[in-house]
Amino acid sequence: MKALTWHGTRDVRVDEVPDPRIEAPTDAIVRITSTAICGSDLHLYEVLGPYLKPGDILGHEPMGIVEEVGSGVTRLKPGDRVVVPFNIACGHCWMCERQLFAQCETTQVTAEGKGASLFGYTSLYGSVPGGQAEYLRVPQAQFGPITIPQTGADERYLYLSDILPTAWQAVKYADAPPGGTLAVFGLGPVGQFCARIGRHLGAGRVIGLDLVPERLEMARRHGIETLDVSQLDDVPGTLIDLVDGRGPDAVIDAVGMEAHGSTSGKLAQHAAGLLPDKLADKMIDKVGVDRLTVLKAALKAVRRGGTVSISGVYGGEVDPMPLMEMFDRGIQLRMGQCHVRRWTDEILPLLSGDDDPLGVEDLRTHRMPLVDAPKAYEMFQKKSDGCVKVVLAP
């Protein structure tokens, strides 16, 4: 089969690789019909190379048709149409019973001290082959895959794999009061959905911040108030002034470790990437730093007693945080990988009707064949050609 494989920093290729096969009774094989590029994939494209090896198959936002199931999978059958969550959870361990599916004890990568295994996402998370491919082996298929209607465009449901429940969790964690104000830093795909979900769940005012014109325009189409941060000298101060001199009730950081404007963090990440892999692994794991411009702005902008919710991926171990200010202002901080299956039953009814309350059909800007995935990665990283979200068709 054809699959997108990693070969080095900013070097991904579509190669011929062996077809996946059933390896355990709880496996399923899914023929992929659509698979998206996530902002988290760009971290692999750029800074997390030390945890990859040439030939690793990328991708964790897939959906398709079940082709085969193992003997332990009774809830699926060949022909079922499914979306595959990015984290791999068993559904029955201590963590899963508490709906902490991103911490599943059956698939935890204990050797690396990490949570549940993820599709297509480095040795830190199990080196499980990903879904930017023609076929995907799905472990723990007795629980993970989400069965969806046979009709309707793929993009009605595709985002259930990651970014839609990720945004839903971010908004739930932000816990803005009814009629309150929610600010969203970063209007990439997750940030777009955070802003729309915030409005849907009752925020009276949603303010989205970014510097990419196409992202700002997309948010405005959905009734989101926007700020172009490239035009602001003091982002936190502007937000505080805009919201009663106090600041938003809740702020979401939907950007993460590669934020613009963090020169020292960018240099540190680049330097680690130049080291031999074994040394780079240790450096990133023990003394890694992130680009914290957005997170610090979020912490300074939220009102006293407010909440900052982090959905953007961070990987640093020695990040300096303004703890005195956070403590003095009584800020609550919530974060973590999304527990996808915790939220999908709430979201699915919003996707199945004739209306489109979350605007899922207005997110993808480019649909491209899988063979063009290397071009798509470059375009998505550079934010060229108005790119906000890419969906690949194997």
> What local confidence, expressed as pLDDT, does residue 47 receive?
78
Span of 8-12, 206-210, 279-283, 350-354 with lowest mean pLDDT: 279-283
In this structure, are residues 33 and 154 in contact, taking their beta carbons and an 8 Å threshold? yes
> Of 335, 360, 383, at which residue does a domain stop?
335
Q: How many distinct structural domains can be found in the chain?
A: 2
In sequence order, which residues have a C-beta less than 8 Å from that of residue 39 and are 6 or more positions away?
188, 189, 190, 256, 312
As given in the structure block, the two tokens for residue 244 are 């009663």
* pLDDT surpasses 90 at 127: yes
Shared domain for 75 and 96, answered yes or no, is: yes
Residue 239 confidence (pLDDT): 98
* DSSP class of 116: S
| pLDDT tier at 114, thresholds 50, 70, 90 | very high
96 contacts 114 by C-beta, under 8 angstroms: no
Residues 20 and 104 in one domain: yes
Average pLDDT over residues 157-181: 98
Both 308 and 239 in a single domain?
Answer: yes
- The answer to whether residues 271 and 371 belong to one domain is no
Contact present, 41 and 377 (Cβ < 8 Å):
yes
pLDDT of amino acid 262 = 47
| Neighbour count for residue 16 (Cβ, 10 Å) | 8
Q: Which amino acid is at 192?
A: Q
* 191 and 76 assigned to the same domain: no
For 393, the 3-state DSSP assignment is: strand
Concatenated DSSP letters of 166-209: HHHHHHHHH-PPTT-EEEEE--SHHHHHHHHHHHHTT-SEEEEE
pLDDT at 277: 53
CATH number for the domain including 214?
A: 3.40.50.720
The β-bridge partners of 2 are 16
Average pLDDT over residues 323-336: 96
Alpha helices for the chain (secondary structure H)? 39-46, 94-97, 154-157, 163-174, 189-200, 213-221, 235-242, 263-273, 277-287, 293-301, 323-328, 340-352, 373-382
The whole-number average pLDDT for the span 127-155 is: 97
In this structure, are residues 295 and 263 in contact, taking their beta carbons and an 8 Å threshold?
no
Of the candidates 87, 119, 160, the one whose C-alpha atom is nearest the C-alpha of residue 363 is 160
Q: Same structural domain for residues 331 and 347?
A: no
Residue at a domain's end among 335, 350, 373:
335
Task: Write the pLDDT tens digit of every residue in 320-329.
Answer: 889 999 999 9
pLDDT, tens only, 247-300: 999 999 999 876 544 444 444 444 444 445 544 444 444 444 557 899 999 999
> Which CATH number fits the domain that encloses residue 117?
3.90.180.10
Q: To the nearest whole percent, how much of the chain has pLDDT over 90?
A: 86
Residue 67: how many CB atoms within 10 A of its CB?
15
3-class state of residue 368 by DSSP? strand
**Which whole number is the average pLDDT over 3-12?**
96
The mean pLDDT of the chain is 92
Residues 289 and 386 in one domain: no
134's tokens: 């023609």
Q: Which pLDDT score, from 0 to 100, does residue 50 have?
A: 85
Of the candidates 29, 31, 33, the residue with the CA atom closest to the CA atom of residue 152: 33
- C-alpha span between 263 and 280 (Å, rounded): 19
Helix, coil or strand: residue 367: strand
User: How far from the centroid of its chain's Cα atoms is residue 310's Cα?
Assistant: 11
- Identify whether the C-beta of residue 86 lies closer than 8 Å to the C-beta of residue 103: no
The whole-number average pLDDT for the span 175-201 is 98
Token digits for 307?
């909440």
Count Cβ atoms within 10 A of the Cβ of residue 252 and give its class: 0-12 exposed, 13-18 middle, 19 or more buried.
buried
Provide the pLDDT for residue 353: 86
Rounded to whole angstroms, the Cα distance separating 119 from 140 reads 12
Domain assignment of residue 296, given as a range:
164-335
Say if residue 71 is in the same domain as residue 177.
Answer: no
Where is average pLDDT lowest: 189-203, 213-227, 256-270?
Answer: 256-270
| 319 and 211 within one domain | yes
Q: Both 197 and 112 in a single domain?
A: no
Residues 185 and 128 in one domain: no
198 and 281, same structural domain? yes
